Structure 1
Amino acid sequence: MSDRLIVVSSDCHAGLHISDYKPYVESKYHDIMDMAVPVQIEMTEKAEQSFLIKEINDAWRAPIKQQLTGAWDYRERLKMLTDDGIAAEVIFPDGITEMNTPPFGAGLGLSPRDQVPELQWAGAMAHNRWLAEFCGNNPDRHIGVASIPLLWDVQQAVEAVRWCVDNGLRAVMIPTLWGEHAPYHDTRYDPFWAVCEDLGVIVHFHSGPAPHPEYFGKTWPAEDRSDELPGAMGIYVSEVMWWLYRPLTFMLWGGVFERYPRLKVVMTEGGTVFMLPPWLRLLDHNYTDVQFSAKLGDFRSHLSMSPSEYFQRNIAVGASCVPRKDIDLRNVIGVDKLMWGSDYPHPEGTWPNTRDYFRDTFAGVPEADGRKILGENAIAWYGLDRARLQAVADKIGPATSIFDNAGAAA
């Protein structure tokens, strides 16, 4: 076995500046894009100001402006992967979060709130066209996650999944929040789960979306009401993970994984060990301790397994920027579940100090476990070509010495 580790980041981001998606948007939407994009940019700038993060963001970006262009520039992307020792990556929308996002609300949030269905689909497919082109530079190393606004039209989503597969994309992201639309235990979505299962397409949920008007006011970001709504950001960051778990609660109890046993789902950047075990204990408690819920009738006979058993079979965890305290608790949910991610190029991620992070965080971790978390789990889950990635890792990957107690340099 090589002494160079195959590292797969389960959470990276890429995307054009919102205005640069125009060549990938169908021409019939160009005029409305010309009108909508300046408004979206203005609202984004106001959001930065109301969050008091503009100065922080500007200061963080200043010394790394060139490296940040890896969010859309392929050559710069390869430099980043080499510097971080990453052999392969899973790529979500929203390059640098604020301005590098698909138009018409088709980015990481993918919320139906205040969106026009036709336009959100247009923005999503524009990103998917660009993403397929970007990942096509080396499909072994780049796993693109397509944006699919599932809530509006299930058949359109099925057709979009087929388009994705035909164009080299075998991972999709669907909305975390459904608003007034049908939630994910509704059987109307069965054709979507079926096509993903049949074609081996992996469904993703990524943290970030939440009911922002409840925290920041209905007119935010056009109007800053922070004086009237103190603590809004604290409330948001305390609840945001819960919204990521909610779709899976509906899918687990709704029997989605009973009907589609080969369907694969990934929840990314979701609190990992400090949130997952209590959530799973709650679900299993309601499944097994029937004396507490007998008066509520039979709500489990359509399931052949407990929620945690479905979780072990059908769901993996994109453990973005996973801290050491979570790694120390890896066996609580199973070391085979965790897939490390760098979150490039978001400022909360490990980049541009990823190699230092490896040494500081994985020192003393058993090599077999470390190999799984850093890459082997993702190779198995996404069906990646291990031999080809090992050839890349032999050139750029961190050495197994990161697992030494002393944390020797890779």
Structure 2
Amino acid sequence: MAGTQSALKSVDTLAPHYDGPIFDGDTHIQEKDYSFFEKYLPEKYHAEWLPARKYGPDGSFGLYIGDTKAENAELQPGGLIPPPGKLKEWLRAISTGETVDSGFTPTPDMSEVGPRLAKLEEFEVEGSIMFVGEFVATFGVLGQLVEEKGPEGANALFHAWNEYLVKEWTLNVQDRIYPTAILALFDLDWAVQEAKWLVENGVRVVVMPMGPVDGKSPADPYFDPLWQVLNDAGVAVTFHVSEANFMHGLIYEWGEKPLQSRKSGQSAWQWMFAYSEIPVMMTMANFIYWNFFERFPNIKMASVENGAEWLPRFLYKMDKMRGMARSGWWPMGQLKERPSTIFKRNCFVVAYPEDDIKGIVDQLGGDASCILMGSDYPHAEGVPTPRDFVEEGCKGLTPEQIEQIMYSNGRRMMPKGRTGLSG
């Protein structure tokens, strides 16, 4: 028996092999500069809303919206970045006192369509979702500015980003690259009109800030006109790791300050409770409990760069709390199925390569159907190439589970062309 267990353990730790197609659920543009905002953002918004890498009034360098710094955008002068997929090596070298490069000069594939397509060929990637780059770090400060100044400037800024994608990338590059347009719920009329314009321009996936807006659940029927537009076109909705504004009040209640530098100001408590998995768990559970997917079955939804180790417990707790609240308040009616069943059919979670993915899948009874891989290219936190995800993250999985995670789950979320909307 001991020999059998040892043999099984040995199999689990062997480097897995996968040479099939890849769908990368988490890649990024690396903004070469922000001059395109000067082109697409109307000039009347430049003073207060124009994004720029610059030195601020206090002399610190960073990404600014007008003169407001996005504290959680960690930038170096000159546009240098840590080498893609090399964060561990970079930090290890620093900790041991080795000489390291001050940064990596971004390559053309990080900001231009043609070179990015060539990079996909080099990486053997068939399809990929491409998220905003540094600009995602502004979601928190933009939410704060909306509270102070109203949504008009933020809406204009998001439209400028979307117009940049439409004009300089397109919203579906040969079914190989799906750039994420930005939508927000600050102003429903604007969101509906923006969504219609995006659909006319072929949008396949949008990224949105997490959480409620103005005391309303994002799944409140008030917002149904927006969701109907996205549902009719089969547009996927994603929540990428970013500052969650709805957590700010909670942070203040605990005697801390939000919107701090992740490098030097964000506390361990905030890392644990106010950033990443808990905000996205709250957001996605709310959609489930509000019967969102019964009304809008063509919308697929994904958590991106929030890891996946929370997933088994999350699904278990959603099912359990449905039972606890069986006689409670169900704003859009009691669910007809288990929350976990609804989630697995409609939702996806991008795993970190360092997650115990086999452990996650085992806890889900061997079901890998809602887990996606993500390289995070060209960011340092991910893997050097998408295929490296197999060796780091897929040990112990079956060939079928690896194929699902590396490819077919992504294609179920983002089918080619305009077919299979109810997926």
Q: Which residue of 2 aligns with 1:25?
A: 41
C-alpha displacement at 1:285, in angstroms? Answer: 0.8
Q: Which residue of 2 aligns with 1:270?
A: 306
Does 332-341 or 17-26 show the bigger shift? 17-26
Normalized against structure 2, the TM-score is what? 0.73
CA distance in 1, matches of 2:52, 2:69: 17
Q: Which amino acid aligns with 2:28?
A: H
CA distance in 1, matches of 2:264, 2:345: 45
Q: Which residue of 2 aligns with 1:208?
A: 242
Q: Tell whether 2:410 aligns with 1:378.
A: yes
Q: Which residue of 2 aligns with 1:13?
A: 28
Q: Which amino acid aligns with 2:169?
A: F
Taking the TM superposition and a 5 Å limit, the aligned residue runs for 1:62-81 are 62=101, 65-81=104-120
Taking the TM superposition and a 5 Å limit, the aligned residue runs for 1:219-258 are 226=265, 232-239=266-273, 240=275, 241-258=277-294
Q: Which residue of 1 aligns with 2:95?
A: none
Q: Tell whether 2:358 aligns with 1:327.
A: yes
Contact 1:287/1:300 (CA < 8 Å) preserved in 2? Answer: no
CA offset digits 1:330-389 (Å, max 9, x no partner): 254421111111111221111x2544443344455322221111011111221126xxxx
C-alpha displacement at 1:141, in angstroms? Answer: 0.5
**Structure 1 residues 269 and 37, CA gap change in structure 2 (3 angstroms):** closer
C-alpha displacement at 1:217, in angstroms? Answer: 5.0
C-alpha displacement at 1:311, in angstroms? Answer: 0.7
CA offset digits 1:170-212 (Å, max 9, x no partner): 2112220346442224221111121111111111111222346
Q: Tell whether 2:153 aligns with 1:119.
A: yes
Q: Which amino acid aligns with 2:24?
A: S
Q: Which amino acid aligns with 1:65?
A: F
| Selected match of 2:82 from 29, 52, 60 | 60
C-alpha displacement at 1:37, in angstroms? Answer: 7.0
CA distance in 2, matches of 1:353, 1:81: 10
SS at 1:305 equivalent: coil
**Structure 1 residues 217 and 18, CA gap change in structure 2 (3 angstroms):** farther
Q: Which amino acid aligns with 2:34?
A: I
Taking the TM superposition and a 5 Å limit, the aligned residue runs for 1:80-229 are 80-94=119-133, 97=134, 101=135, 107=138, 109=140, 112-115=143-146, 116-132=150-166, 133-135=168-170, 138-150=173-185, 152-178=186-212, 180-210=214-244, 211=247, 214=251, 217-218=256-257, 226=265
- The answer for unaligned runs of 5 or more in structure 2 is 1-17, 84-100, 418-423
C-alpha displacement at 1:48, in angstroms? Answer: 9.4
C-alpha displacement at 1:81, in angstroms? Answer: 2.5
Q: Which residue of 2 aligns with 1:339?
A: 372
**Structure 1 residues 267 and 374, CA gap change in structure 2 (3 angstroms):** same
CA offset digits 1:35-85 (Å, max 9, x no partner): 987559845489899999969x96835487344543313344234323433
RMSD of the TM alignment (CA)? 3.8
Taking the TM superposition and a 5 Å limit, the aligned residue runs for 1:289-368 are 289=324, 301-319=333-351, 321-323=352-354, 325-333=356-364, 334-350=367-383, 352-362=384-394, 365-368=397-400
**Structure 1 residues 22 and 370, CA gap change in structure 2 (3 angstroms):** same
Contact 1:139/1:168 (CA < 8 Å) preserved in 2? Answer: no
- The answer for unaligned runs of 5 or more in structure 1 is 227-231, 386-410
CA distance in 1, matches of 2:107, 2:390: 21
Contact 1:124/1:147 (CA < 8 Å) preserved in 2? Answer: yes
CA distance in 1, matches of 2:71, 2:235: 39
**Structure 1 residues 259 and 176, CA gap change in structure 2 (3 angstroms):** same
**Structure 1 residues 363 and 110, CA gap change in structure 2 (3 angstroms):** same
**Structure 1 residues 44 and 369, CA gap change in structure 2 (3 angstroms):** same
CA distance in 2, matches of 1:279, 1:70: 37
CA distance in 2, matches of 1:168, 1:113: 31
CA distance in 1, matches of 2:359, 2:378: 26
Q: How many residues align?
A: 362
Percent of pairs with identical residues: 23
SS at 1:284 equivalent: helix
